[in-house]
Structure formats: C-alpha cells, structure tokens
Chains A and B, each alone.
Chain A
Amino acid sequence: QSALTQPASVSGSPGQSITISCTGTSTDVGGYKYVSWYQQHPDRAPQLIIYEVTNRPSGVSNRFSGSKSGDTAFLTVSGLQAEDEADYFCTSYTNIATLVFGGGTKLTVL
C-alpha cells in the first residue's frame, strides 16, 4: 500500500486559513470514511485532531475541520495561530484492513 500524498509544506499568516490535501485511491481514502488527521509538534507524539473525515475529538479547537472529495481528503485550519505551526499527517483505512499514513505536511505560520 503506497503512502498517501500530502504537500510537503504549506504556510499562512496569523488569522488566515490554510488547507492541506491528502490524496489516496479508491482502495483507501476514496473507499471509506475512516480518514483521520494528526498534529505533531517537534519531539512529541502525534495528537488526533480529526477522525472519520469530519469529526473533532473533544477538546480540539473548532478552527480545525475536515472534508473529503473522491480520493482526496482535506484538513482546513482557520484563524491561524502561532501554536498551529507543526507537522500534520493524514491516515486512512484500506481495503486490506491496514492503515496507511500520508507523507506529512509542515505548516509554517509566517
């Protein structure tokens, strides 16, 4: 199973919105609602911010939102804040019951 495709980096100014894409195939992202997103700060464990494409865990800011169209999932971060600067990873369930991660996107807040 090939890794999901994410842009290597995105950037935005405080207060702006950015969107990160996560492209797979019909055997993973396109075939299931089981796409999740994680935020990872340097030398820290990842933290779940979106599950089942659109759902936010309790305690996660509503500035984070998820969506999906076809084989591509999206993470939008609105009202950018300095603390949002981190790496972001998507993951999806696959047709062979495995999980596959994206290559990760580094978000820089200018």
Chain B
Amino acid sequence: QVTLKESGPALVKPTQTLTLACTFSGFSLSTTGMRVSWIRQPPGKPLEWLARIEWDDDKIYSTSLKTRLTISKDTSKNQVVLTMTDMDPGDTATYFCARTRLGTGYAFDIWGQGTKVTVSA
C-alpha cells in the first residue's frame, strides 16, 4: 500500500523559513519514473503546484516561487523535504505532497493527507 504523510510546524512567524517533510512508503523514489511533488491550498482557494523532485534527482520549481523553494530527497529515509524561505501570511495554506509514477503522465495518483501551516506573528 502506497502512503505519503506530511509533517512540519503548524505555525511559523513571518520571515521565517518553513521546513516540511513528506515521509512515504510502498514505493521507492529511486525507481525510474517516480516523482514527488509539493502542492498547497490556501483556505478556500485553489490548489497551487510548488515543486517536484524526480527519481534521478532532477528538481523543478514553480516559476513564481522558485527563489524561495528548495526540494530534496533522502532515499534511505523514504523522505522528501521542502524548504520555503521568507514566509508571509499569504503562505498560510494546507501543504500536500503527492506521488507521480510512470504510466500516468504527470498525474498525482496518491496524495498525503496534508498539513496545515499558518503564518502569523
């Protein structure tokens, strides 16, 4: 069974750096075609794709947030980490990680439950 679970602080202050972890099971990020993305959803608003890391360690970022994001993976821990610098109240959202596998295009076939992050002083 494939699962993903996000973890990180529920509250961060403006200007701080957010670090989120996505811990997964049931697949290996070393397998050709596997990808993990981070996606966020502000309260009552649409989904926004943030970043993706691929099985070969290629990393792709949202053009609008590229300067603030870093994505990395620890294959031995089955974990993908996202850092976002200079947090702002506008970054308040539920942050999801999701898997993409070979044969489904770039679709997110399995999602984590999401973790809520509030940015406030």
User: Which residues of A line the B interface, CB within 8 A?
Assistant: 1, 3, 33-36, 38, 45-48, 51-52, 55, 57, 89, 91, 93, 96-104
Contact = CB atoms under 8 A, between A and B. Distances in A.
A51 B104 contact: yes
B55 interface: no
Interface of B: 37, 39, 46-49, 52, 60-63, 96, 104-109, 111-114
Given A93-B106, A102-B46, 6 more contacts: A36-B104, A46-B47, A46-B96, A51-B109, A55-B104, A91-B49
A103 B47 CA distance: 7
B82 to A, nearest CB: 15
A81 to B, nearest CB: 23
B105 A52 contact: yes
A1 B113 CA distance: 26
A3 B106 CA distance: 17
A102 B108 CA distance: 15
B46 A103 contact: yes
Contact of A46 (B52, B62, B63, B111): B111
Contacts of A34: 105-107
Nearest to A52: B105
